[in-house]
Amino acid sequence: MVEVRSGEIGGKVSDKGMSNTQQAVSVLKDLILDNRLASGSNHLESELAKMLGMSRTPVREATLILEAQGLVEVKPRHGVRILSISPKDMTEIYDILTELESLSAELAAKQNHSDEDFAGAVDAIHRMDSTLKNEDREAWAMADETFHSELVRLGGNERIANIFRMYSDQVRRARKITLNLRPKPTKSNDDHRRVLKAIRLGNAEQARELHRLHRIQAKEMLIGLLEEYGFHNV
Amino acid sequence: MVEVRSGEIGGKVSDKGMSNTQQAVSVLKDLILDNRLASGSNHLESELAKMLGMSRTPVREATLILEAQGLVEVKPRHGVRILSISPKDMTEIYDILTELESLSAELAAKQNHSDEDFAGAVDAIHRMDSTLKNEDREAWAMADETFHSELVRLGGNERIANIFRMYSDQVRRARKITLNLRPKPTKSNDDHRRVLKAIRLGNAEQARELHRLHRIQAKEMLIGLLEEYGFHNV
DNA sequence: TAATAAAATTACGTATACATTAAAAAATTA
DNA sequence: TAATTTTTTAATGTATACGTAATTTTATTA
> If you average pLDDT over residues B57-82, what whole number do you get?
95
Rounded Cα distance, B28 and B37, in Å? 8
Considering the entire predicted model, what is its pTM? 0.91
B160 contact residues in A (CB cutoff 8 A): 92, 95-96
Query: Which helix (H) or strand (E) is B80 found in, with range?
Result: strand B79-82
Smallest Cβ–Cβ distance between A100 and the set B61, B64, B99 belongs to B99
pLDDT at B84 (0 to 100): 93
Query: Which helix (H) or strand (E) is B118 found in, with range?
Result: helix B115-133
The pLDDT of residue B4 is above 50: no
The pLDDT of residue A7 is above 50: no
pLDDT at A16 (0 to 100): 60
Distance D17 C1' – A45 CA (angstroms): 22
Q: At what angle do helices A137-155 and A87-110 cross, to 10 degrees?
A: 50
pLDDT at B166 (0 to 100): 95
Q: What are the pLDDT digits (tens) for B51-67?
A: 999 999 999 999 999 99
B177 neighbors B231 (Cβ within 8 angstroms)? yes
Q: Is B99 left (phi over 0), alpha (psi -120 to 50) or beta?
A: alpha
pLDDT at A14 (0 to 100): 52
The pLDDT of residue A5 is above 60: no
pLDDT at A17 (0 to 100): 77
The pLDDT of residue A11 is above 60: no
Distance C22 C1' – A76 CA (angstroms): 9
Rounded Cα distance, B37 and B42, in Å? 9
In sequence order, the 6+-apart residues with CB closer than 8 A to the CB of A206 are A109, A198
pLDDT tier at B16 (50, 70, 90 boundaries)? low
> If you average pLDDT over residues A14-25, what whole number do you get?
84
B103 contact residues in A (CB cutoff 8 A): 95-96, 99
pLDDT tier at B17 (50, 70, 90 boundaries)? confident
Query: Which helix (H) or strand (E) is B75 found in, with range?
Result: strand B72-75
Rounded Cα distance, B202 and B184, in Å? 30
Q: How far is A18 from chain B (nearest CA, A)?
A: 12
A92 contact residues in B (CB cutoff 8 A): 157-160
A97 contact residues in B (CB cutoff 8 A): none
Q: Enter the DSSP assignment of B8.
A: I
Q: How far is A169 from chain B (nearest CA, A)?
A: 15
Q: What are the pLDDT digits (tens) for A47-90?
A: 999 999 999 999 999 999 999 999 999 999 899 999 999 999 99
The closest alpha carbon to A165, from A185, A181, A149, belongs to A149
Q: Do B64 and A60 touch (CB under 8 A)?
A: no
| Cβ-based contacts with strand D at under 7 Å | A 44-46, 56-57, 60, 74, 76-80; B 19-21, 54-58, 61, 76-78
Query: Which helix (H) or strand (E) is B73 found in, with range?
Result: strand B72-75
CA angle B168–B145–A102, rounded 5-degree value? 60
Residue nearest to nucleotide C14 (CA to C1'): A57
**Chain D nucleotides with an atom closer than 7 Å to a protein C-beta:** 11-17, 22-23
Average pLDDT taken over every residue of chain B: 91
In sequence order, the 6+-apart residues with CB closer than 8 A to the CB of A100 are A152, A160, A163, A164, B96, B99, B100
How many contacts (CB atoms, under 8 Å) link A and B? 62
In sequence order, the 6+-apart residues with CB closer than 8 A to the CB of A127 are A139, A140, A142, A143, A146
